[in-house]
Amino acid sequence: MTISEYFQIPVDTLIATFIPNCSTSTQKGRSTKAGKYLFFYTGITNTLSELIDIPEFPDERWGILFEQWTGTTILKTLYNHNIRGEVCFWREGKREINWIVKSGRNIIPIEVKWGESIRKQALKSLEAYIERNNLKMGFVVFTGERKRKLTEKILATPWLELPEVLLENL
């Protein structure tokens, strides 16, 4: 059995979904073509990271788990509403967007931020992707309680409203 066949086991058993990098860059060294695996349950991620039975959960892990939760919520929303679409992420050089949702001609870039404050610096990748693809809007999913407009084309959306935002924009 090859290594790639072992990586296929979690996908075949519905424990994980393979998420491709949707970058189209062909410049050497600029794009990370490798995909990532999204586990359906955050407990699996913690177990694989050996983060079980520890007295305090490390702060840096909350952002990773929140990103995973957001990804699974996107997949569940598409599935539950019978929306044909593709979910990928975008990474080129130091720029990255956590989730790109594509359905027909609609493209929704989504950046994930653990916390209520969103720094202007955190929007640079999202702004670049929106401009490059001539999109109407991009979103930042965060742990705050109210929607707020961050720029003309970027809306900060509370995590509880993610399914609603997807359905309104697909």
Domains of the chain: 3-169 (3.40.1350)
> Between these two residues, 25 and 35, which has the higher pLDDT value?
35
Task: Specify the pLDDT at position 149.
Answer: 94
Angle of the 59-80 helix axis to the 162-169 helix axis, nearest 10: 40
Q: Please give the share of the chain, as a percent, with pLDDT higher than 70.
A: 81
Q: Which candidate, 22, 17, 16, 7, places its Cα nearest to that of 107?
A: 22
Residue 166 has pLDDT above 80, yes or no: yes
pTM equals: 0.82
Average of pLDDT values for 23-37? 62
Collect all residues with Cβ–Cβ distance below 8 Å to 96 and sequence separation of at least 6: 89, 90, 125
Q: Are strands 148-151 and 36-39 parallel, antiparallel or unpaired?
A: unpaired
Q: Are strands 86-92 and 148-151 parallel, antiparallel or unpaired?
A: unpaired
* pLDDT bucket at 2, cuts 50 / 70 / 90: confident
Q: Is 129 left (phi over 0), alpha (psi -120 to 50) or beta?
A: alpha
Burial of 105 (0-12, 13-18, 19+ CB in 10 A): exposed
Task: Specify the pLDDT at position 49.
Answer: 58
Average of pLDDT values for 102-119? 92
* pLDDT bucket at 103, cuts 50 / 70 / 90: very high
Model confidence over 43-95: pLDDT tens digits? 666 555 555 555 566 667 778 888 989 999 999 999 999 999 999 999 888 88
The number of helix segments (H) and strand segments (E) in the chain equals: 5, 8
* pLDDT bucket at 24, cuts 50 / 70 / 90: low
Q: What does DSSP assign to residue 114?
A: S
